């Protein structure tokens, strides 16, 4: 997926999103005297928007890619919540998680008057990363676990 800074001629799109309700990864790291290992999920989120430009009464789609570079899955017990305030505000909202439809007030909340969106705690899960050791060089490569949240609506 190609990410770039977007400029919309008619609307300014809010690029601020966050993941909450998960302890910080650095709280799980061992002391320097111990062998380094990841004891919890390490999450990052990216946000993209399309189409660019968007016009009034057009459909705008936000795609959130949540990556886990830790060796532990972020399961429902982790209580992950993804929040965002959509600017411009959207109506007729639809949301999917890895292609599966989410249900308003069951899986997420959305306030059309403020544009505030939030997933329900524990609804977002992200698989653990996989780690592959090259036997010839001993180098380790990481393939993060990925979950995709897609939200579309009309401006």
- Write out pLDDT tens, residues 88-109: 899 999 999 999 999 999 999 9
Q: Cα 46 to chain center, whole Å? A: 6
Q: Residue 55: what pLDDT?
A: 82
CB-CB contact of 59 with 152 (8 Å): yes
Q: Is the pLDDT at 116 greater than 70, yes or no?
A: yes
Residue 53 has a pLDDT of: 83
pLDDT at 38: 52
Q: List, for residues 22-68, the tens digit of each pLDDT value.
A: 433 333 333 333 334 657 899 999 999 999 888 888 999 999 999 99
* Among 8-17, 70-79, 99-108, 127-136, the range of highest mean pLDDT: 99-108
For the CA atoms of 27, 63, 145, 116, the dihedral, rounded to the nearest 10 degrees, stands at: 30
97 near 74, Cβ under 8 Å? no
Percent of the chain scored above 90 by pLDDT? 61
Instruction: Give the three-state DSSP class for 21.
Output: coil
Does residue 69 contact residue 58 with C-beta atoms inside 8 Å?
no
Mean pLDDT, the chain, whole residue set: 81
pTM of the model: 0.76
The residues facing 153 across adjacent strands are 60
Could you tell me which residues are beta bridge partners of residue 71?
none
Looking at the predicted structure, is the pLDDT value of residue 126 above 70? yes
pLDDT at 19: 54
């Amino acid at each position: 997926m190609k990410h770039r800074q977007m400029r919309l001629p008619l609307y300014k799109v809010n690029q601020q999103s966050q993941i909450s309700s998960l302890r910080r990864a650095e709280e799980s790291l061992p002391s320097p005297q111990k062998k380094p290992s990841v004891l919890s999920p390490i999450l990052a989120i990216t946000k993209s928007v399309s189409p660019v430009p968007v016009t009034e009464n057009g459909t705008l789609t936000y795609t959130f890619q949540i990556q886990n570079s830790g060796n532990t899955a972020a399961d429902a017990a982790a209580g992950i919540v993804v929040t965002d305030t959509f600017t411009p505000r959207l109506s007729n909202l639809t949301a999917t998680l890895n292609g599966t439809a989410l249900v308003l007030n069951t899986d997420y909340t959305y306030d059309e008057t403020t544009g505030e969106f939030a997933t329900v705690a524990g609804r977002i899960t992200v698989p653990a990363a996989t780690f592959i050791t090259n036997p010839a060089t001993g180098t380790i490569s990481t393939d993060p676990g990925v979950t995709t949240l897609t939200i579309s609506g009309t401006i």
